[in-house]
């Protein structure tokens, strides 16, 4: 199939695919030794046309994306003011109107169609490009799949988080029950205990800081609803004798107060256990000596 003087390709029906070809050859019958770059464009249901450019365009355009090739060919004709027969000019203008002068969504759709046709042509011509394009499609499908999985996972996590928020158990219920004034004082004590580690050089060891925090908890923790005015229990909840004393918010589930705040329990000494104890006896309690009674 050859090009006539008008630049419109004749012969045979139009293919149903977009096609652009950039070739370097002799197209001037008057000067057959001079080579030119021909840009041939075929758009189904639009038309077929060709542009003849200087030979230098061949190296610059032969591997370029097709939308760019068409734009460069049209700009060169406009710059040079090329005049040709009306049939050739109309064929070229139909291509330009369809692609370059379209607007909005039409332009995006048509540009993408020509670009996709160029990519497919590159894949057919170059095995490496074909492989990369196939991998690209696989990755696109994988990304779509992962996005769907992510949306599902986010929904599940949100449901779990909501359930946890709904059923959350207060770690310090007695602190929640405090009046505002007591709560403010309790929090101030906690902050002071935690900040104490940076108030000396070297820093206070972590476990000492933890002990200070526990002491603050113990100082404020009281039975009942958590008010400092709550009455103390009748018996001091002391740890077993064989276990070391522990000050903290809880001791095996039982609240433990620091020694300074525990009620003093006085123990009465049994009379017979005293070192000053004497068994005072009267006459009939004394042993007999054999004398007159």
Whether residues 31 and 119 share a domain: the answer is yes
Does the pLDDT at position 110 exceed 50? Answer: yes
| CB-facing half-sphere around the CA of 8: CA atoms within 13 A | 19
Could you give the number of structural domains in the chain?
3
Task: Tell me how far apart the alpha carbons of residues 53 and 27 are, in angstroms, rounded to a whole number.
Answer: 10
Whether residues 24 and 97 share a domain: the answer is yes
Whether residues 116 and 131 share a domain: the answer is no
Classify the C-alpha dihedral 182-186-191-193 as positive or negative: positive
Axis-axis angle for helices 104-125, 86-99 (nearest 10): 100
Is 190 inside a domain boundary? yes
Final residue belonging to a domain, choices 202, 220, 238: 220
β-pairing verdict for 47-53 and 36-43? antiparallel
**235 neighbors 263 (Cβ within 8 angstroms):** no
Q: How confident is the model at residue 279 (pLDDT cuts 50, 70, 90)?
A: low
Is 179 inside a domain boundary? yes
Q: What is the pTM of this model?
A: 0.42
Is 164 inside a domain boundary? yes
Q: How confident is the model at residue 270 (pLDDT cuts 50, 70, 90)?
A: low
Whether residues 47 and 143 share a domain: the answer is no
Is 264 inside a domain boundary? no
Whether residues 94 and 189 share a domain: the answer is no
Q: How confident is the model at residue 66 (pLDDT cuts 50, 70, 90)?
A: very high
37-46, 130-139, 236-245, 283-292: the lowest-pLDDT one: 236-245
Q: Which residue has the tokens 């108030």?
A: 199
Domain membership of residue 183 as a residue range: 175-220
Whether residues 136 and 184 share a domain: the answer is no
Is 204 inside a domain boundary? yes
Distance of alpha carbon 71 from its chain centroid, rounded? 42
Q: Which residue has the higher pLDDT, 268 or 96?
A: 96
Query: What pLDDT is stored for residue 159 in this prediction?
Result: 80
Whether residues 45 and 117 share a domain: the answer is yes
Query: What pLDDT is stored for residue 81 in this prediction?
Result: 92
Task: Tell me how far apart the alpha carbons of residues 148 and 154 are, in angstroms, rounded to a whole number.
Answer: 10
Query: What pLDDT is stored for residue 160 in this prediction?
Result: 79
Which of 95, 113, 100 is CA-nearest to residue 71?
100
Average pLDDT, stretch 268-289? 53
**210 neighbors 163 (Cβ within 8 angstroms):** no
Helix H segments across the chain? 57-61, 66-80, 86-99, 104-125, 127-166, 173-176, 180-195, 206-220
pLDDT digits (tens, 9 = 90+) for 4-44: 333 444 333 455 799 999 999 988 778 788 899 999 999 99
Query: What pLDDT is stored for residue 47 in this prediction?
Result: 93
Whether residues 202 and 143 share a domain: the answer is no
Structure-token pair, residue 99: 């692609």
Is 279 inside a domain boundary? no
Give the 3-state secondary structure of residue 103. Answer: coil
26-40, 108-122, 125-139, 232-246: the lowest-pLDDT one: 232-246
pLDDT digits (tens, 9 = 90+) for 151-191: 888 888 888 787 777 666 677 888 888 888 888 988 988 88
Query: What pLDDT is stored for residue 37 in this prediction?
Result: 95
CA distances from 6 to 79, 95, 132, 233, 275 (A): 19, 15, 40, 111, 137
Average pLDDT, stretch 117-122? 89
Average pLDDT, stretch 204-219? 86
Does the pLDDT at position 248 exceed 70? Answer: no
Whether residues 90 and 131 share a domain: the answer is no
Query: What pLDDT is stored for residue 261 in this prediction?
Result: 55
Query: What pLDDT is stored for residue 218 in this prediction?
Result: 87
Whether residues 190 and 212 share a domain: the answer is yes
Whether residues 24 and 59 share a domain: the answer is yes
Q: Tell me, what DSSP letter sits at residue 160? A: H
Does the pLDDT at position 277 exceed 60? Answer: no
Q: Which residue has the tokens 């949306």?
A: 151
Task: Tell me how far apart the alpha carbons of residues 16 and 42 are, in angstroms, rounded to a whole number.
Answer: 9
Q: Which residue has the tokens 């169609």?
A: 113
Whether residues 90 and 33 share a domain: the answer is yes
Which of 140, 104, 117 is CA-nearest to residue 46?
117
**209 neighbors 216 (Cβ within 8 angstroms):** no
pLDDT digits (tens, 9 = 90+) for 86-107: 999 999 999 999 998 888 899 9
Average pLDDT, stretch 214-238? 61
Is 270 inside a domain boundary? no
Q: What contacts 66, CB < 8 A, 6 or more positions away?
A: 18, 20, 41, 114, 115, 117, 118
Task: Tell me how far apart the alpha carbons of residues 171 and 35 are, in angstroms, rounded to a whole number.
Answer: 87
Is 269 inside a domain boundary? no
**98 neighbors 110 (Cβ within 8 angstroms):** yes
């Amino acid at each position: 199939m050859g090009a006539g003087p008008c630049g419109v390709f004749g012969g045979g029906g139009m293919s149903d695919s977009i096609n652009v070809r950039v070739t370097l050859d002799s197209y001037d019958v008057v000067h057959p030794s001079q080579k030119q770059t021909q840009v041939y464009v075929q758009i189904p249901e639009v038309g077929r046309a060709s542009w003849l450019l200087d030979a230098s365009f061949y190296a610059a355009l032969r591997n370029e994306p097709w939308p760019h090739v068409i734009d460069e060919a049209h700009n060169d004709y406009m710059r040079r003011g090329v005049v040709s027969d009306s049939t050739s000019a109309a064929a070229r203008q139909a291509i330009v109107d369809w692609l370059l002068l379209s607007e909005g969504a039409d332009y995006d759709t048509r540009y993408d169609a020509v670009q996709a046709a160029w990519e497919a042509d590159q894949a057919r011509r170059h095995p490496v490009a074909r492989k990369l394009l196939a991998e690209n499609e696989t990755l696109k499908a994988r990304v779509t799949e992962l996005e769907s999985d992510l949306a599902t996972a986010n929904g599940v996590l949100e449901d779990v988080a909501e359930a946890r928020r709904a059923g959350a158990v207060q770690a310090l219920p007695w602190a929640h029950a405090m009046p505002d004034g007591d709560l403010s004082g309790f929090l101030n004590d906690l902050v002071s205990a935690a900040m104490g580690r940076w108030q000396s050089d070297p820093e206070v060891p972590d476990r000492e800081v933890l002990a200070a925090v526990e002491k603050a908890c113990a100082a404020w923790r009281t039975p009942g609803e958590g008010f400092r005015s709550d009455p103390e229990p009748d018996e001091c909840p002391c740890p077993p004798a064989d276990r070391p004393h522990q000050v903290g918010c809880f001791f095996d589930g039982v609240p433990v107060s620091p020694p300074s705040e525990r009620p003093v329990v006085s123990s009465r000494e049994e009379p017979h256990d005293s070192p000053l104890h004497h068994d005072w006896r009267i006459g009939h309690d004394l042993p007999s000596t054999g004398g007159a009674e």
